[in-house]
Amino acid sequence: MGGYRNRGGEIGHMILHKDGKRCGCGANGCFEAYASTRALLEQYQNSSPDNAPVSGEMIVQKFLDAETIAVNVMEQHFDYMATGIAGLVNIFSPQRVIIGGGISEAGDFYISQIAQRVKAIAIPVAHEFTQIVPALLGNKAGLLGCASKVFEKMISNC
């Protein structure tokens, strides 16, 4: 899914809001600028009266303890994740969407919150056979994904 001359495939830079938050890639309103763990941490810090730095684990714990700010920012985070994923489901109708890295290892509730929201907004026929699952390898999944891409390339060049 790299596109012509491998210049595409930037799922994180799918634009959700054209005049939205500035993204590290130089564009505005990218999926990543809203749905990443970094965005969640910023959102929490900006909403918190003392602006104290927090970690993903802290926000998850506060969310589970029903702290208002944590609940609000996590609800937004789930909605952003679901919006981006539902768009991809509508286009590709994948059998699996694998979510890994960042705070996705927080627990089953994390994947289930996103899965419910994707189901609610994706086109039913596109979503019918889609499962949303956690990456079993956790944070290593991204790295191994890169390695397998490299192997794929080596094999296809033989």
Binding site for Zn ion (CB under 5 A): 13, 23, 25, 27, 30
Whether the Cβ atoms of residue 116 and residue 81 lie closer than 8 Å to each other: no
Closest to Zn ion by CB, 12 vs 134, is 12
- CA 35 from chain centre, in angstroms, equals 5
Closest to Zn ion by CB, 29 vs 145, is 29
Closest to Zn ion by CB, 31 vs 44, is 31
- Tokens at residue 153, please? 């390339």
Write down the least CB distance from residue 10 to Zn ion, Å.
7
- Give the whole-angstrom CA distance, residue 28 versus residue 157: 36
Write down the least CB distance from residue 126 to Zn ion, Å.
25
Write down the least CB distance from residue 150 to Zn ion, Å.
23
- Give the whole-angstrom CA distance, residue 110 versus residue 134: 9
